[in-house]
């Protein structure tokens, strides 16, 4: 199609910025027609300044540079279609704020139902295809849903003129009113093609997948960044801040915000960012005219800005800016935490038909519950054929793990920590022999282990005495890790069941779903072990290892008395 130019909207008409669903292919920006200023109508932020204005690298730009680049594309008030997944969280936040300031309305396009959403991703990926297996499709769909929910959260929190537009099939002909007619028609055709049914077998598989998928009605948990002064902050730190942090972030988001640290000292110093035991040296000090104007009497204010501060949003991993003088101890300048809202993230299994969420815990009826939930939804026992090729039930649900924060009802099953440990030792060490010489030999290269020097097949006391060492084996770490390290706080659940209450859980699920629900006993391998088989020294160490678990579960379980050991 030949290139065309279209007039700019009259000043009184508010332009629309359509946030296009990532799962739908559109023509590449360079091949799309442009405005008189050379700005593409479709995905206009993909070809600015000879590169990609919305690449992940934008998070490393100075905020002013990013703002100027976006303003160049938006300032003439024209309707535009933006790929909702283009760019990182700082880019999305900067684009949203600037477009709103320039008078744009926002329309977030999403599919009316989960089947069409999955179809759209399948069409985009060319699935089914041996190079693009079902787990690839599921990961892509989950990432798209997370980004859509994140964009909606930003818009809702910021008071923007926005609307979530639910896509039907075929798309409404008036959906892209205001966009030049040829491109509005092209967008409608792309949406219609993306929602076309697949071949029978693939369509049946996607239909089954809708049973486990959340949508925009099930808004996940997000994190709110909160910066604060460290207790007893050194008076030489006159100012410390991060610039451009969005009010919300997705858990796990990687971002690189800049900011300012004004340190009033003639001694040279460095600035670093520490998070989770890893320290990064920052690009500091850099020119900061605005800070210099506010602090004319401080020479350090002329160069107080820093750039490229690598962060990962995680409510369990706070970060700290640290000034490092050459002639003294490190000085904390600013703490940054990520607070979950409305409740901590809950990664688990989502049953969409009844809006039920469950977080599995290894060695707490985990296998039995997963098999029972699969049968409840599919009305058939698990098999690789029904499981989309997954070899076992854990692989199946690992590929379908989601944040079930907004499920209407969330439940958890807990167990006495030392009873859980004994069950794990019996099943994983004695029965499955995951610390045998043959098993360890298969992992030796990847883990840096020497099978000849590795004390294989440990007895119970040897295993406990060398607990941290044995937890270098991934399956051992997975099954024996304290639950307080990965399970959401108990307040995130509507009902917490003790292991001894499984029959009550089965009754409650039957009542909630209107379906018969029975619990198989799926992990029977290994001998039955008792607390009396643990020696006194080993018992003391186990209580220490699981101290936080006992604190978390104080309402349900107390640690055994030391006198119970060895009896």
Rounded to an integer, what distance in angstroms lies between the CA atom of residue 68 and that of residue 71?
5
The listed range with the strongest mean pLDDT (151-160, 384-393, 496-505) is 496-505
Is residue 306 in a domain?
A: yes
Is residue 8 in a domain?
A: no
What letter does residue 41 receive in the DSSP assignment?
Answer: S
Domain shared by 202 and 231, yes or no: no
Average pLDDT of 258-268?
90
Domain shared by 445 and 387, yes or no: yes
Is residue 9 in a domain?
A: no
- Give the number of other Cβ atoms within 10 Å of residue 7's Cβ: 9
> How confident is the model over 100-130, as pLDDT tens digits?
999 999 999 999 889 999 999 999 999 998 7
Q: Cβ distance 74 to 54 under 8 Å?
A: no
Q: Cβ distance 382 to 371 under 8 Å?
A: yes
Contacts of residue 203, defined as CB under 8 A and 6 or more positions apart, other chains included, come to 197
Neighbour-count burial for 242-273, b at 16+ CB within 10 Å, e otherwise? bbbbbebbbbebebbbbbbbbbbeeeebebbb
Domain shared by 53 and 159, yes or no: yes
Between 521 and 286, the higher pLDDT residue: 286
What are 106's two structure tokens? 């926002």
What are 176's two structure tokens? 């892209």
Domain shared by 171 and 277, yes or no: no
Task: Report the length, in residues, of the chain.
Answer: 567
Rounded to an integer, what distance in angstroms lies between the CA atom of residue 541 and that of residue 463?
11
Is residue 10 in a domain?
A: no
CA angle 295, 302, 328 (to 5 degrees): 90
Q: Cβ distance 60 to 256 under 8 Å?
A: yes
**How many domains does the chain fold into?**
3
Domain shared by 543 and 445, yes or no: yes
What are 402's two structure tokens? 């989601």
Domain shared by 488 and 367, yes or no: yes
Residue 57, classed as helix, strand or coil, is helix
- Domain interval for residue 253: 222-341
Is residue 6 in a domain?
A: no
pLDDT of residue 351: 97
What are 330's two structure tokens? 């490190």
Rounding to the nearest 10 degrees, give the CA dihedral for residues 293, 297, 302, 307.
-90
- Of 87, 39, 229, the C-alpha closest to 96 is 87
Tokens 């006194």 correspond to what residue? Answer: 536
Residue 241, classed as helix, strand or coil, is strand
CATH number at residue 253: 2.60.40
> How confident is the model over 232-242, as pLDDT tens digits?
889 999 999 99
Q: Cβ distance 372 to 521 under 8 Å?
A: no
Average pLDDT of 291-304?
93
Domain shared by 202 and 276, yes or no: no
% of the chain beyond a pLDDT of 70: 89
Contacts of residue 422, defined as CB under 8 A and 6 or more positions apart, other chains included, come to 529, 530, 531, 534
Domain shared by 28 and 153, yes or no: yes
Rounded to an integer, what distance in angstroms lies between the CA atom of residue 425 and that of residue 434?
10
Rounded to an integer, what distance in angstroms lies between the CA atom of residue 402 and that of residue 359?
10
DSSP string for 434-491? TTSHHHHHHHHHHHT--GGGS--S--HHHHHHTHHHHTTSHHHHHHHS-GGGTSPPGG
Mean pLDDT of the chain: 86
pLDDT at 30 over 70: no
Torsional class of 267: left (φ above 0), alpha (ψ -120 to 50), beta (otherwise)? beta
Domain end: 150, 184, 212, which one?
A: 212
**Alpha-carbon radius of gyration of the chain:** 28
Q: Which of 25-34, 206-215, 413-422, 546-555 has the lowest mean pLDDT?
A: 25-34
Average pLDDT of 417-436?
93
Q: Cβ distance 95 to 45 under 8 Å?
A: yes
Rounded to an integer, what distance in angstroms lies between the CA atom of residue 258 and that of residue 239?
14
What does the H/E/C string look like for 309-371? CCEECCCCCCEEEEEEECCCCCEEEEEEEEEEECCCCCEEEEECCCCEEECCCCCCCHHHHHH
Please, is 446 exposed, middle or buried when counting C-beta atoms within 10 Å of its C-beta (0-12, 13-18, 19+)? Answer: exposed
Contacts of residue 449, defined as CB under 8 A and 6 or more positions apart, other chains included, come to 440, 443, 472
Distance of CA 248 to the CA centre of its chain: 13
Is residue 4 in a domain?
A: no
Domain shared by 234 and 150, yes or no: no
Distance of CA 400 to the CA centre of its chain: 13
Domain end: 323, 341, 359, which one?
A: 341
Domain shared by 389 and 434, yes or no: yes
Domain shared by 227 and 186, yes or no: no
Domain shared by 181 and 264, yes or no: no
Between 285 and 60, the higher pLDDT residue: 285
Q: Max Cα separation, the chain?
A: 87
First CA to last CA across the chain, in angstroms? Answer: 84
Residue 248, classed as helix, strand or coil, is coil
Average pLDDT of 68-77?
82
For CA atoms 344, 347, 352, 353, the dihedral sign is negative
Between 349 and 28, the higher pLDDT residue: 349
pLDDT of residue 29: 42
For residue 364, what are the CA distances in angstroms to 429, 432, 523?
A: 17, 17, 10
Is residue 522 in a domain?
A: yes
Rounding to the nearest 10 degrees, give the CA dihedral for residues 125, 127, 129, 134.
100
Q: What pTM value is reported for the model?
A: 0.85
pLDDT at 400 over 70: yes
pLDDT at 479 over 90: yes
Rounded to an integer, what distance in angstroms lies between the CA atom of residue 81 and that of residue 184?
10
Is residue 275 in a domain?
A: yes
What are 207's two structure tokens? 């239909």
Domain end: 212, 239, 273, which one?
A: 212
- Give the number of other Cβ atoms within 10 Å of residue 497's Cβ: 21
Q: Cβ distance 255 to 249 under 8 Å?
A: yes
Contacts of residue 310, defined as CB under 8 A and 6 or more positions apart, other chains included, come to 254, 256, 273, 280
Q: Cβ distance 273 to 321 under 8 Å?
A: yes
Rounded to an integer, what distance in angstroms lies between the CA atom of residue 376 and that of residue 513?
9
> How confident is the model over 322-369, as pLDDT tens digits?
999 988 889 999 999 999 988 889 999 999 999 999 999 999 999 999
For residue 26, what are the CA distances in angstroms to 182, 187, 192?
A: 14, 8, 12
Rounded to an integer, what distance in angstroms lies between the CA atom of residue 478 and that of residue 349?
18
What letter does residue 47 receive in the DSSP assignment?
Answer: S
pLDDT at 33 over 70: no
């Amino acid at each position: 199609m030949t290139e065309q130019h279209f007039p700019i909207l009259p000043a009184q008409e508010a332009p629309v910025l359509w946030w296009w669903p990532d799962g739908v292919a559109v023509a590449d920006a360079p091949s799309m027609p442009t405005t008189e200023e050379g700005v593409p109508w479709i995905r206009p932020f993909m070809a600015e300044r000879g590169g990609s204005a919305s690449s992940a690298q934008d998070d490393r730009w100075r905020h002013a540079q990013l703002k100027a680049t976006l303003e160049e594309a938006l300032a003439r008030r024209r309707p535009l279609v933006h790929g909702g997944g283009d760019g990182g969280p700082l880019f999305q936040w900067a684009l949203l704020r600037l477009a709103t300031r320039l008078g744009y309305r926002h329309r977030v396009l999403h599919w009316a139902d989960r089947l069409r959403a999955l179809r759209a991703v399948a069409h985009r990926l060319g699935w089914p295809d041996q190079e693009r297996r079902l787990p690839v499709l599921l990961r892509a769909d989950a990432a798209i849903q997370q980004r859509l929910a994140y964009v909606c959260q930003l818009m809702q929190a910021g008071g923007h003129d926005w609307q979530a537009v639910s896509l039907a099939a075929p798309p409404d002909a008036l959906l892209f009113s205001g966009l030049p007619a040829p491109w509005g028609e092209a967008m409608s055709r792309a949406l219609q093609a993306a929602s076309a049914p697949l071949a029978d077998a693939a369509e049946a598989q996607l239909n089954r997948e809708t049973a486990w998928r959340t949508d925009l009605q099930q808004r996940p948990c997000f994190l709110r960044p909160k910066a604060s002064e460290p207790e007893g902050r050194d008076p030489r730190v006159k100012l410390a801040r991060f610039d451009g942090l969005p009010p919300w972030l997705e858990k796990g988001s990687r971002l690189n915000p800049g900011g300012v640290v004004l340190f009033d000292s003639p001694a040279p110093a460095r600035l670093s960012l520490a998070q989770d035991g890893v320290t990064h040296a920052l690009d500091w000090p850099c020119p900061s005219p605005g800070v210099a104007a506010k602090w004319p009497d401080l020479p350090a204010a002329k160069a107080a800005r820093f750039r490229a501060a690598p962060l990962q949003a995680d409510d369990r991993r706070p970060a700290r800016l640290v000034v490092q003088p050459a002639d003294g101890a490190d000085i904390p300048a600013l703490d940054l935490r990520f607070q979950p809202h409305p409740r901590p993230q809950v990664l688990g299994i989502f049953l969409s038909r009844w809006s039920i969420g469950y977080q599995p815990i290894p060695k707490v009826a985990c296998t039995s519950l997963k098999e029972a939930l699969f049968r409840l939804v599919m009305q058939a026992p698990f098999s690789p054929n029904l499981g989309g090729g997954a070899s076992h039930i854990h692989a199946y649900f690992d590929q379908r793990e989601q944040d079930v924060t907004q499920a209407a009802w969330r439940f958890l099953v807990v167990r006495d920590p030392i009873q859980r440990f004994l069950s794990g030792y019996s099943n994983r060490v004695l029965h499955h022999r995951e610390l045998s010489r043959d098993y360890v030999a298969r992992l030796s290269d990847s883990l840096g282990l020497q099978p000849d020097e590795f004390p294989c097949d440990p007895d119970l006391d040897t295993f406990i005495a060398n607990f941290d060492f044995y937890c270098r084996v991934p399956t051992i770490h997975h099954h024996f890790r304290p639950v307080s390290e990965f399970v959401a706080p108990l307040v995130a659940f509507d009902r917490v069941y003790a292991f001894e209450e499984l029959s009550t859980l089965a009754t409650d699920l039957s009542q909630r779903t209107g379906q018969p629900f029975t619990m198989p006993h799926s992990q029977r391998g290994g001998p039955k072990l008792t607390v009396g088989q643990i020696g006194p020294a080993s018992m003391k160490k186990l209580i220490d290892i699981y101290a936080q678990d006992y604190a978390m579960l104080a309402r349900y379980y107390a640690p055994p008395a030391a006198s119970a050991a060895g009896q």
